[in-house]
Amino acid sequence: MTMSYRSLLLLLPALLALPPEGRSQAAEAETAGPAAIALTLEEAVGIALGPAGDARARIAEERVGQARARSDQSRAALLPHIEASFGQQSVTRNLAAFGINVRLPIPGYDFPTYAGPFDVFDARASAALSVLDLGAIRRYQASRKGILGAEQERESARDRIRETVARAYLGLLKARAGLEAARSNVDLAERLLGLAESRKAAGAGIGIEITRARVQLANERQHLLAAVNGENRAQLELVRTLGLDLGLRVEPSGAMAYVPEAVHDFREALQTALERRTDWKAQLEREEAARLEQSADRMERLPSVRLFAEYGTIGSGIDDAVPTRTYGFSVQVPVFDGGRTDGRRAESASRLRQLEAETRDLRAQIELDIRLALDSLESADLQVAAAGEGLLLAEQELAQAERRFEAGVGSSIEATGAQTRLERARANRIDALFAHGMARIDLYSALGTIAQMISGGTNP
């Protein structure tokens, strides 16, 4: 039984609410064969992008959360720091240990060695604020760029998932088309075998024709078994890509079809890719973040200004505590930190140069992806046209060969040869459609518009 993914979700609460007898019947129905769900390509992508789908989407989402947390940490250096404390102490001090040893020329007077015990109560609040710290400001700006880069990386991961699902979905369509072609080839071989047997029974045929037809039928049945195995493998690969139970089967909507593409100008395609590709945007955000980090490291040598204030009460107890306060500002001027700042500047400069090289390499890769996709699409268009013409001619040849064989003016060799060429023409047609679908996926992925292709409602 085949049901849509949405229908399966709607029926799930009802299935859970069934009495034990109903659940046992459902279990027996399930063991009768693997459950199948009908999915369009857009629905399949939606499952893969869902919480239980491809792990890459969840990992990318967690990286966005980590980038936001790092930004919050960087922002903390620019916000006020407020602390409060209170405590009660009982203190005894050894004055001699602190070098306090007073000798007075007074007979009978000895300076005490110990002070205490005495009580100290202290309750106060303190606050500090960085008024001017250019290095901290730059680091916070870099962290904001890090968030944007992580968000673009998340979208890039989602695009890669869409591409992976589209390829697996198209692979299943190809496997099913191959299975249907293999079944058609078996039916054709059985028909030719029946025709040979009829001719032999009528005294117009010979035994070698029946043997030849049986050999061809055995070959076609072997090909059918291989096609069944290929369809099962494609099913498992798609189900695994979607993150579903491997016991499920997917019924794809429609079949492979030729979807002509408008001619794309390379320069316009490149401009579209630079505007739409999320991996390119993420790379630019990473490079800008590294540039801000380098600026922050350079600004660590500049003075910083800090305000501070403290207010509280202190005394031997709560009853006799008196208020005290401290406030002011400080200017910190870095002089020498053992080379730490120089090391950080060298590291950030090296990282910036690395990212700049990666940016240049990615742009070249984008240009290569577009050129290869356009060339593949043009070649696939020609392959589809040639395969369609070849399939039409092969069908005509087989029809003529069957008529000649049935009329007794042709041999089984002609029919078998025509059958073989029709089988090859069918395979060529499937391969051409598959190549064209893959070329479309490559093109939309290169342009960064794979989501628009999938939401268009047509298979690759």
- Residue, of 98 and 158, whose pLDDT is higher: 158
SS3 27: helix
pLDDT at 21: 44
- The alpha carbon torsion through 46, 47, 51, 56 (nearest 10 deg) reads -80
Spatial distance between the Cα atoms of 108 and 421, rounded to a whole number of angstroms? 129
Whether the predicted pLDDT of 237 surpasses 50: yes
Query: How much is the mean pLDDT over the chain?
Result: 86
Query: What is the C-alpha to C-alpha distance for residues 456 and 460, in angstroms, rounded to an integer?
Result: 10
User: What does the pLDDT average to over 99-127?
Assistant: 80
Please name the residue that has the structure tokens 């390119």: 280
Measured CA to CA, the distance from residue 387 to residue 385 in angstroms comes to: 6
Average pLDDT over residues 190-216: 80
pLDDT tens sequence across 428-437 = 999 999 999 9
pLDDT bin (cut points 50, 70, 90) of residue 33 is low
Distances (CA, A) of 301 to 73, 143, 347: 21, 20, 16
Could you say which DSSP state residue 449 is in? -
Instruction: Give the pLDDT band (50/70/90) at residue 205.
Output: low
Q: Please check the confidence at residue 3 and state whether its pLDDT lies above 50.
A: no
Confidence grade of residue 13 (pLDDT, cut at 50, 70, 90): very low
447-460 burial by CB neighbour count: b if 16+ within 10 A, else e? bbbbbebbeeeebb
Per-residue confidence at 218, pLDDT binned at 50, 70, 90?
A: very high
Helix (H, G, I), strand (E, B) or coil at 103: coil
Nearest-CA neighbor of 272 among 445, 64, 25, 59?
445
| Tally: H helices and E strands in the chain | 11, 7
Closest CA to 418 of 405, 428, 431: 405
26: pLDDT strictly greater than 60: no
What's the half-sphere exposure (Cβ side, CA atoms, 13 Å) at 45?
A: 24
Strand partners, 307: 129, 329
Contact between 111 and 104 under an 8 Å Cβ cutoff? The reply is yes
Concatenate the DSSP letters of all residues of 320-366 into one string: T-EEEEEEEEEEE-----TTHHHHHHHHHHHHHHHHHHHHHHHHHHH
Q: What is the dihedral of CA 293, 299, 301, 306, to 10 degrees?
A: -110
- The pLDDT, as a whole number, for residue 347 is 92
CATH superfamily of 34-455: Outer membrane efflux proteins (OEP) (1.20.1600.10)
pLDDT in tens, 359-387: 999 999 999 999 999 999 999 999 999 99
* pLDDT above 70 (res 107): yes
Of 254, 237, 255, the C-alpha closest to 246 is 237
45 pLDDT band (50/70/90 cuts)? very high
Residue 241 · residue 57 · CB < 8 Å: no
Choice among 202-206, 275-279, 349-353 with the minimum mean pLDDT: 202-206
Extents of the domains making up the chain:
1-33, 34-455
> How many angstroms separate the Cα of 205 from the Cα of each of 310, 417, 427?
113, 18, 31
Q: Does the pLDDT at position 312 exceed 50?
A: yes
Residues 109, 114, 115, 119, CA torsion sign: negative
Q: Where are the beta strands (DSSP E) in 95-248?
A: 114-132
Tokens 């604020």 belong to residue? 129
Enter the DSSP assignment of 307: E
Percentage with pLDDT > 90 across the chain: 57
